[in-house]
Amino acid sequence: AFVGQTTDAATGTASIIVNSEGQNVIVIVPGANLLLNSEDLKRASDVICKAKVVVCQLEITPAVSLEALKMARASGVKTIFNPAPALADLDSQFYTHSDIFCCNETEAEILTGIPVGNLEDAEKVGHVLLERGCKLVIVTLGAEGCMMISVEEPIPKHVPAGKVRAVDTTGAGDSFVGALAFYLAYYPKLPMEEMIRKSNCVASVSVQASGTQSSYPYRKDLPQDLF
């Protein structure tokens, strides 16, 4: 309902190269994405403020993303922030306005300067992000699953992912975040660890098919014990 057209820029695009192991390199040209502004947010404010969950990231102007997070939080809406593509000088308010702060290894290193090669590194990142004001941090670790740490549970928890043969990992993080938003909205009483485990399952299905959006499974194609 709130998608517009403009003659001032081309549609945002991403050129994706995938190697034989299914790992990817992505070049993003944001184009019209960067023209989304505060006025657009105001037009959508009713929907944002009545949502169960709002997901924000950095493929639009960061200030607009932050404004959306603030708008959602002010109305008691659960917020997930995925700092992708990551910025080294991220506004510190992103940490405090996100109920869940979810980043991958690369994003974690850009944000904190800590290279993430194992679980211990991910735990260090988690502690740094909690110190910056995050409430709950999830660091996604590809085939290794996720590391979760929160203000309420400061002892880091590793949530492993099932072993699969990856064909194309592009979009696995978005698949995970989308699934997590679904569980937060429809199964809010599930323990967070269980939501993450189920989201890992959805992401692991997505990496077994080529493409990004085309690799996302429909509900009917997923094990029914996920619902």
Taking only the tens place, the pLDDT of each residue in 134-164 is 999 999 999 999 999 999 999 999 999 999 9
108 and 142 housed in the same domain: yes
Q: Give me the pLDDT at residue 18, please.
A: 84
Catalytic choice (99, 121, 168, 174): 174
Cis status of the peptide bond prior to 85, with omega within 30 of 0: yes
9 and 78 housed in the same domain: no
Q: Which two tokens stand for residue 88?
A: 């080294």
10 and 77 housed in the same domain: no
4 and 66 housed in the same domain: no
Residue 140 and residue 102: Cα distance in Å, rounded? 7
54 and 8 housed in the same domain: no
91 and 11 housed in the same domain: no
24 and 119 housed in the same domain: no
115 and 21 housed in the same domain: no
Residue ranges making up the domain that contains 152: 36-226
6 and 88 housed in the same domain: no
Tally of domains within the chain = 2
CA dihedral 82, 87, 93, 97 (to 10 degrees): 0
- Domain CATH code at residue 178: 3.40.1190.20
Tokens 């890992």 correspond to 200
pTM of the model: 0.94
Q: Give me the pLDDT at residue 26, please.
A: 85
Tokens 């938003």 correspond to 181
85 and 133 housed in the same domain: yes
174 tagged catalytic: yes
Q: Give me the pLDDT at residue 227, please.
A: 94
Q: Give me the pLDDT at residue 177, please.
A: 98
Which regions of the chain are under pLDDT 50? none
Q: Give me the pLDDT at residue 88, please.
A: 93
112 and 48 housed in the same domain: yes
Q: Give me the pLDDT at residue 16, please.
A: 86
78 and 165 housed in the same domain: yes
The string over 108-128, giving b where at least 16 C-beta atoms fall within 10 Å of a residue's C-beta and e elsewhere, is: bbbbbeeebeeeebbbbbbeb
